[in-house]
Every structure is written in C-alpha cells, then in structure tokens.
Chain A
Amino acid sequence: MRLQIPIAIGFLAGFFMLVQFFVPHQFFQQSYLELFDWVKIIGAFALVLGLGSLFRTHIDKIRNRRPDHIYSFVTLISFAVMFVFGIVYGVKPHTSFDWLFKNVQTPLEATVFSLLAFFMASAAYRTFRARSVEATLLLTVAVIVMLGRVPISDYVSFVDFHEASEWIMSVPGMAAKRGILLGVALGVVATALRILLGIERSHLGGGGGGSS
C-alpha cells in the first residue's frame, strides 16, 4: 500500500489536470488555480528539505573536522544572518534583507557567472579544432554570432555581422531548435503518460517499504 496509494494519488491528480485543460467550466478553472496554490505550498516545504540537506552536509563537515570545515561555519553564519533579517524585518525594498541581497548576493551571482566567460574562452581555445565540416560550421557560426553582438562589427564594411547573426538565429538556428523541441515534446508526453499510469516510479523511490 505504501506504493499503490501514491501511484493512485498521482494518477488522480494528473487525470484531473488533463481533464481541466479541455473543460472550460468554472469549477475546473477555479480548482486549477487552487491546486496551483497547493503546489506552491508543498514546494515551500520541499525547500525545507533542501535546506536540511545543506545543513546536514555542513554540520557533518564541521563535526568530522574535514578539510576546509572552517568555511562551513561561513555558510551557516551567512545563512543565519540573512534568514534572521528576512524573518524579523521582512523582504520588502529598503530592508536589511534587501540591502544584503543588493550588495552581497547580486554582485556575487553576477561575478560567478561572469567568471564563466574566462573558462569558456579557455576551454574553447584548448578543445575547438576545425577538423571536420561539422566542427568548422559550429566554429564559424559561433564567431559570426559573437561578432554580431559587438559594436566593432559596425566598422566592417564587406559583411553585416549583425544581420547575419540575426538570420542564423531565426532561420537555420531556429530550424534546429524546432527539431529538438518536437523531439522533447514527444519525450515529455511519453514520460508523463508513464508517470500517470504508474509505469515510471523512480520519483517514488527511496524510503523502503517496497510494494507492501
């Protein structure tokens, strides 16, 4: 029963969502919005699960005095400071929480992602070799798209890199994207049907109990 009941719940919930899509009755529309709020609430509790995992990792690291465990204190203290400010003063603009978000999280996030520019350039330099038609095509298109995004291409008179880049994105690039998306859609439908019919059960895994 520990497995059959969740499968039945999944089937009923999925079947309801499938039906409500095709029935424009007010009951179904309101229920859809209500269920959407329920998912948000359950998702909020799932965040606690994620935080629990984060705490467990860092507390274990501190308890076992693993290398660099001192930084685990930093993570836990940063969390505590930001969380306490958020709970006590709220998350609206001009609060301490907002100040930390603007002056710590936003610059850190932007810097970490900008760091990838160096690593991508370095990886591309080390691995990209125009050894085949396909690799040459990929490299050429990447260079055209990059040149189309910088002002220096305005000074090149023999080719409009900006227009070429736009054309690549909207015609051959879009054709490839659509081919992939059509395949993705069929995969999504097949997986969703497997979940609804209880064939796919990997998301219910863990915790023992089996089919008893």
Chain B
Amino acid sequence: MPEAAGEINAIWGVSTEVIGLWLAALLTLAIYSFLYGDNPVYKLAEHIFVGISAAYGAGIVYHQVLIPELINPLFRPALAGQDVPKYSLIIPGLLGLMVLGRFLRGHEWISRWPIAFVMGLGAGLSIPRSMQSLVLLQMHGTMQPVWPLVTAEGWVGVDNILMIAGVICTLAYFYFSLPHRGVMGGMSRVGIWFLMIGFGAGFGNTVMARISLLIGRIQFLIYDWLPTIGIHLGGPGVG
C-alpha cells in the first residue's frame, strides 16, 4: 500500500505508533493530575487540547465543506464533475464573507444578513419538524392500547396506563395557567415524581457513561502503555 501524504513511520528510529502511545499516555496522566489539584502540567495539556480541537474543526471544515462545496464547484468545476462553474454558490460565498463583518468595527451590522438568513431557515424548518417529531410522534408513542392489562409479553397494558398518566401529570406540572390546587395540585405532584424518576435515570446514565470512559482510559494505560515499559498486568491481549 502506498504511503499516505505526510505519513512518517518512524522518528529517530522510534516507530510513530510507539511515540503516539507515549504521547497519549502522558497527556492522559497530565489531565488526571488535576485530581491532585490545578497544576502546570494539567494547564499545558488543557491548552494543547483547546488548540488541537479548534484546528481539527478548521481542517475538517476546510477539506469537507469549503473545498468540495464552494471552491471546487465555483472555481474548479472540472474537479467537481461539472462543465461550468456553479454561479449560484456566489450567494452563500458572499453571505459567508458578510459573517466576517463582525470583525469590522462600525460595520458589524453587515453580519446580520447571513445570521438572519440562517436563523430564518432554521426557524422555518423547525416548525413542521418539531410538530412532527416532538409532538405527533410522541403522542402516537404515548397513546398505545391499555387493554388487555397483561399479555404474553408482560404487563403491557399497565405500562401503557402508567405512560399516559405520567405524560399527562408531567404536562400538568408545567401548566401554569391554573393554580396547582385540588386535582391539578395532585396531578402536578405526581408529575414531579415522574420528573424525579426521569432525572434520576438521566443522572445514573450520565455517571455510567463517564465511568465507562474512565475504564477505557485506565485500560489504555494498563494494557497498551505499561507493556511498552515492560510492565504486564495481564488482561486482554496479554498472556
């Protein structure tokens, strides 16, 4: 396989794979050093992260949006598989340049045109889309048969009753045009219980997602990095 542009396989006789492994391990440890307290090593890793992430976004946007969607179709049509330049792209190109008007002191208003255009498109699209996906589909998912209460698959009817009651009570909690007293007060209280269950489940899931990332980093350090310095603690890939 031919070597990709800019690919270097070794630096001073050390494979780039090993250098990458060490770099990743040292940066991982640098970030974890924050658990002891804020320190220069952590700050260094943190600032590298900001710079690299911003450049990653810029590089991807340049190669995957600007070149194939604007530069090639407009200035190098042959590369975009066209016979003639796509002149309609002058409009988004100009609107894009107008965004940079924010940098011109006293002429910041120029950026309002592209912002209004993008916001208008988003607003126009979000009305039918959110009605479709967040209202109608959610209502359809909620209004499921409640009878029979128990089927071969389990307590499906009971679950559906619970779902309908939960959605109505949660909505009652967010309905402020009526005082939360009497029946409305009771419904809103039950709504809070459902919300607490929802938040608890969300919290539990979020914690476990972070724990899973933590396990991934620890596994990387133990099974990928430590063997490079001759320490084998067993586990996957190690005899």
User: Which residues of A does B touch, CB under 8 Å?
Assistant: 2-3, 5-7, 9-18, 21-22, 34-35, 37-52, 54, 68, 71-72, 74-83, 85-97, 99-118, 120-121, 124, 133-135, 137-146, 149-150, 165, 167-169, 171-186, 188-189, 191-193, 195-196, 203-204, 206-209
Contacts and interface: CB of A to CB of B under 8 A. Distances in A.
Given A54-B50, A95-B7, A179-B194, 18 more contacts: A9-B120, A17-B123, A34-B88, A42-B95, A71-B46, A100-B52, A104-B23, A114-B211, A114-B214, A145-B200, A172-B166, A173-B197, A176-B197, A178-B142, A180-B170, A186-B135, A189-B131, A193-B127
A185 B135 contact: yes
Contacts of B206: 120
Question: Which 9 A-B pairs have CB atoms at the shortest separation, nearest pair first?
Answer: A175-B166, A179-B170, A86-B59, A207-B108, A78-B51, A89-B6, A176-B198, A141-B200, A145-B204
A118 B35 contact: yes
A104 B120 contact: no
Contact of B109 (A37, A39, A89, A209): A209
Nearest to A174: B163
Contacts of A115: 31-32, 34-35
A34 B73 CA distance: 13
Contacts of B96: 41-42, 44-46
B109 A207 contact: yes
A78 B50 contact: yes
Contacts of B122: 192
B125 interface: yes
B201 A145 contact: yes
B204 A141 contact: yes
Interface in B69-106: 69-70, 88-89, 91-93, 95-97, 99-103, 106
A13 B124 contact: yes
A15 B8 CA distance: 52
A137 B197 contact: yes
* Chain B interface mostly: helix
A89 to B, nearest CB: 3
Contact of A83 (B3, B58, B69, B112): B58
Contacts of B169: 179
B197 A14 contact: no
Given A77-B51, A114-B213, A175-B170, A40 B130 contact: no
Contact of B159 (A171, A177, A181): A171
A47 to B, nearest CB: 5
B115 A103 contact: no
B167 A175 contact: yes
Given A45-B99, A103-B21, A108-B45, A39 B121 contact: yes
